[in-house]
Homo-oligomer: A and B are copies of this chain.
């Protein structure tokens, strides 16, 4: 099976230049429109009309900027990071197609993190005030939006568990399983993947130094769990990774 790239998820621009309505979007089951009927999706489309391209390395938004919209990843891959007064920063997540960016901004009308594209990407711009208006009209949209926010909270708690309790190998194994699971939900191979982020970014997310990430990749390869060629990965023993995550030390 050839390894698909994330951009395969997008319709080829030349062929289908502007057909980017929620109703025809193959992400609608993963994105905000889940559970909406056709008429509701049409209305949602009304406020998601605006799209934006973000090239690799570019910021979608920055900490401190005024918050006005949420962004749904259409194609590509992002990271979000928060920084402290002194120079430290922490990657708080990696977002792929169908996932929402900017939820942190609602709290104070300012973004509280940076969102950076890790590859050329495109997003749907969802004007937040209009989303609030529409979700007062449609129970299903309101509910779906609340679920998405709540899911982010649950995800964050999982990361806390990872950062607070797991050792390097367990963290990396959990990270890889999470990544492949999300890719699989988007129709990609569960075993072959291309990392869009550096070892340092993985390390920042997992609370490890890049050298530790690299060493752990090598160890997984030695143990026959993984085949690592730079950013090309192949999972050889998914159950083995899962066992690492489950058993603290056995």
Contact of A159 among B89, B139, B160 (CB under 8 A): B160
Take A139-B132, A161-B88 as given contacts and tell me if A150 and B106 are in contact as well, using a CB distance cutoff of 8 Å: yes
Judge whether A6 is part of the interface by a CB distance below 8 angstroms. no
Judge whether A90 is part of the interface by a CB distance below 8 angstroms. yes
A206 surroundings in chain B (CB, below 8 A): 164
Main secondary structure on A side of the interface with B: helix
Take A106-B146, A107-B147, A139-B136 as given contacts and tell me if A88 and B153 are in contact as well, using a CB distance cutoff of 8 Å: no
Copies of this chain: 2
Judge whether A113 is part of the interface by a CB distance below 8 angstroms. yes
Take A103-B150, A154-B112 as given contacts and tell me if A86 and B207 are in contact as well, using a CB distance cutoff of 8 Å: no
A147 surroundings in chain B (CB, below 8 A): 106-108
**B105, A150: Cβ atoms closer than 8 Å:** yes
**A157, B157: Cβ atoms closer than 8 Å:** no
Q: How far is the CB of A212 from chain B (nearest CB, A)?
A: 12
Q: How far is the CB of A205 from chain B (nearest CB, A)?
A: 8
Q: Which residues in A have some Cβ–Cβ distance to B below 8 Å?
A: 82-90, 92, 103-108, 112-113, 132, 135-137, 139, 142-143, 146-147, 149-154, 156-161, 163-166, 204-207, 245-248
